[in-house]
Structure 1
Amino acid sequence: GTISDVPPQYSDRFEFEAMVKNTSKPIVIWNYTKEGLKDTMEMASAVVGGKENLLKRPFIAAYSEPISPLTGDRAATEKLLLAAEYGIPVIHTPCVQSGASAPVTLAGELVSANAENLSSLVMAQLKRKGVPFLMGGVITIMDMRDAQMSYGAPELSLALSGFTDIAHYYRVPTWGTAGCSDSKLPDEQAAVEATFSCLFSMFSGANLVHDVGYLESGKTGALEMIVMVDEILGYIKRIDRGIEVNEET
């Protein structure tokens, strides 16, 4: 969701202001238009003392999406090219649903998602060679019962793990999805679905994972869900450390 107590056409700028005032962590920015993106990048430049400093050590990445299947609308493409021109990291990744905006088979869905990612990558590199770029997106199925995009289906974890392998084959970092659920509440269903997506993200080696805390097929966010996923990640990090075997143990 977006903030609602400011003029809607400027909500992206106000959101960035709130985030940059309250965290020292890197921020993924989003904007409705290229004008909004330009304003936000100028705000980020002011925070670090100028555009040159921002390019030396960018703390923002610009997010936008093509339209599946195989379409780049004008607004999204303009944002992609503007971010690349500035030289800040670009995340321009699709939301792909097998059976809706992509082939119904997971293999066919991955081919479609790969084509959309690669076309965006090529445009970014043509605009500014060497600009950092992340491949990935939300790659899942459409729930045929209610035509919703499933954030909790096993196919989401499976497809994203497969796409992570594809991106790493190209030696490109990935933008993944985990810690989310189709449940409307942070309940037992949410815990199970979030656990599997986080576990698969860890095993596949996803680089930057988003949508943590999402519920109701991406339509709701819950702070309680973020707390739950933080506990889940503690378990997964312990599993990832494995069993230490040496003379002392």
Structure 2
Amino acid sequence: MRRSTQRKHAAPDTAATAPRGPHSAASRPYDTIAPTEAERVVEAALTLLAEIGLRFDSGTEAEGLLTRAGCTIAPDGVVRMPAFVVRRALATVAKSVRLWDRDGTRAIDIDAHHTWFMPGMTCIKVFDEATGEPRPSTRADLATITRIADGLDNIDAVCVACKDVADSTLRGEIGEFLCMMENTTKPLEYLCEWTRSLEAAIEMAAALRGGHEKLSERPYFLHIVTPLPLYFAQSHIEQVILAARAGVPVSVGTLAIGGASTPITTAGTVVQCLATDFAGIVLGQAAREGAFCIGSTNPYFMEPETGGIGNLPQTMLGEQLICQVRRHLGLPSFTGLGGDARARRFGQDAVFEIATMMGQVFHTRPATCDYLGSLDQGITYSLHALLLCDEYAGMLRTLWAGTKIDEDALALDLLREIGLTGTVLGHEHTARHCRTNLWPSRYFGANTPVSTSEKADETLYQRIDRDLRQRLAAPGPEPLPADLHARLKAIHETHAVA
């Protein structure tokens, strides 16, 4: 069986990698449980897969692949995966991959040592720019969000932030991938309902790169597959196999809801999340050993009082726990929940949730944090929220940079020089270090309208809105070459035929 070419591109290359995102060795992620307990969680997930199993739709290629891998399949479609099969898959799966931009000149390292920020995903409404009221989203809205994200320094890749609700067809879904290609030069994340849409996306990306082999060598997008907890439908199976064989990085996971689709306890939900993740990894390795096919299910929890998704402390704890267990296995974590807010509008509630959840990202260190800008439990997209998330991402990166500890930084010689009655204000040491660990904030810090400054007395919303209006009026990225754009549109039309 052919090994994925992605493995040889996993080593860092500072000349090609964006100079941001790595976590400082002096700033460790937070472990919410002991290492022995993390291994106990892993063992529980392995036991679940071996003894209870999970369901795969019957009649797909997965049956042969999983059987040859050592799994057993019951007549009712329940698949049981022995621990040795899962452990083998965890050993062979690529644990890092390089995701390249549209031009193929810069890349981000998707691994357990970086966090990358992305907008989205798949909202079905946006806040109208003129009225401020929510309305169904369109392809034009996706283009606008993608173009704004392209110009934000701390947004590293772009995914399907909102859906083209008016064209909820195969044609519309494929058009969403083309829309992102047209409006950003950054790497992409993609997710879709139809396997035909993924086939079209792979064809477009291969046309961009100059061939399928070159796409495998320099992947342009990460594909997201969203099975239900412990259940892989036909389309999920097809997409995992297709992407793995094409050399397209795959993230397999969905949102579990503790108390509804999974146990109400934090550990119980995380076990089912991991079991779903592991099953996706086994399938990906059965399709192409060495492929980058990583599990990424997120634990959410029900609020017993309302029955809705929420329970912020338990959701944060679940995220901390599953990120720790994945780190324990050397695996990256995806779809960190930092930018996702339950608040219906961008206001005080949303700001609190975004600040709280993105603060958690500092500790949990997911590989991607890609719900930035999503409000109302992922229903409505807010560009104002996206700009605030970009701001917080810059703050996190300032924190991750750590601080230097040497003789010059400790500054004892400075104190010896000026004495106890001297001042550091006009000293050369202050001039050299005054921008160390500086967060160049657009909305806070020196830009906060305190009474001792000359800044206009604007609210946070007004400051963000003023910035947004300027960005909406700015030009987008360079357009695609005309001949390439024509080829991409032709691929779109060919695959859009039902």
Match of 1:13 among 170, 174, 182: 174
CA contact (8 A) 2:187 2:221 kept: yes
**1:29 counterpart residue number:** 190
Report the AA paired with residue 17 of structure 1. L
Match of 1:190 among 350, 362, 366: 350
Asked if 1:115 corresponds to 2:312, the answer is no
Structure 1, 161-170 or 135-144: larger mean CA deviation = 135-144
* Structure 1: segments with no counterpart, 5+ residues: none
Q: For 2:324 and 2:264, locate their aligned partners in 1 and report how far apart those are by CA, in whole Å.
A: 20
CA contact (8 A) 2:215 2:247 kept: no
Asked if 1:162 corresponds to 2:321, the answer is yes
What SS does the corresponding residue of 2:231 show, helix, strand or coil? coil
Is the alpha carbon distance of 1:5 and 1:108 closer, same or farther for their aligned partners in structure 2, counting shifts above 3 Å? closer
Structure 1, 90-99 or 233-242: larger mean CA deviation = 233-242
Matching of residues 95-114 of structure 1 within 5 Å: 95-114=255-274
**2:382 counterpart residue number:** 222
| % identical aligned pairs | 23
Asked if 1:181 corresponds to 2:181, the answer is no
Match of 1:90 among 250, 268, 273: 250
Structure 1, 74-83 or 102-111: larger mean CA deviation = 74-83
Report the AA paired with residue 11 of structure 1. G
**1:67 counterpart residue number:** 228
What SS does the corresponding residue of 1:211 show, helix, strand or coil? strand
Q: For 1:84 and 1:240, locate their aligned partners in 2 and report how far apart those are by CA, in whole Å.
A: 32
CA contact (8 A) 1:135 1:167 kept: no
Q: For 1:143 and 1:81, locate their aligned partners in 2 and report how far apart those are by CA, in whole Å.
A: 36
**2:288 counterpart residue number:** 128
Structure number with higher relative contact order (C-alpha < 8 Å, ≥ 6 residues apart): 2
Asked if 1:232 corresponds to 2:397, the answer is no
CA contact (8 A) 1:12 1:36 kept: yes
CA contact (8 A) 1:12 1:30 kept: no
Q: For 2:233 and 2:324, locate their aligned partners in 1 and report how far apart those are by CA, in whole Å.
A: 27
CA contact (8 A) 2:276 2:297 kept: no
Give RMSD over aligned pairs. Answer: 1.7
CA contact (8 A) 1:157 1:196 kept: no
C-alpha displacement at 1:146, in angstroms? Answer: 3.6
Q: For 1:178 and 1:134, locate their aligned partners in 2 and report how far apart those are by CA, in whole Å.
A: 20
Q: For 2:348 and 2:292, locate their aligned partners in 1 and report how far apart those are by CA, in whole Å.
A: 38
CA contact (8 A) 1:64 1:93 kept: yes
C-alpha displacement at 1:155, in angstroms? Answer: 2.1
Structure 1 length normalisation: TM-score? 0.93
Report the AA paired with residue 328 of structure 2. Y
Q: For 1:85 and 1:104, locate their aligned partners in 2 and report how far apart those are by CA, in whole Å.
A: 37
C-alpha displacement at 1:182, in angstroms? Answer: 0.6
Q: For 1:139 and 1:158, locate their aligned partners in 2 and report how far apart those are by CA, in whole Å.
A: 9
C-alpha displacement at 1:6, in angstroms? Answer: 3.8
Q: For 1:188 and 1:119, locate their aligned partners in 2 and report how far apart those are by CA, in whole Å.
A: 40
Structure 1, 234-243 or 139-148: larger mean CA deviation = 234-243
Asked if 1:45 corresponds to 2:206, the answer is yes
Report the AA paired with residue 192 of structure 2. N
Report the AA paired with residue 54 of structure 1. L
* Structure 2: segments with no counterpart, 5+ residues: 1-123, 125-162, 410-498
Q: Name the structure where helix makes up a greater proportion of residues.
A: 1
Is the alpha carbon distance of 1:51 and 1:143 closer, same or farther for their aligned partners in structure 2, counting shifts above 3 Å? same
Report the AA paired with residue 181 of structure 1. A
Q: For 2:331 and 2:402, locate their aligned partners in 1 and report how far apart those are by CA, in whole Å.
A: 27
Q: For 1:226 and 1:7, locate their aligned partners in 2 and report how far apart those are by CA, in whole Å.
A: 24
Match of 1:149 among 302, 305, 309: 309
Report the AA paired with residue 386 of structure 2. I
C-alpha displacement at 1:7, in angstroms? Answer: 5.8
CA contact (8 A) 1:157 1:201 kept: no
Q: Write out per-residue CA displacement over residues 82-109 of structure 1, whole angstroms, 9 at most, x where no aligned residue.
A: 1112121001112111101111100111
Report the AA paired with residue 211 of structure 1. Y
Structure 2 length normalisation: TM-score? 0.48
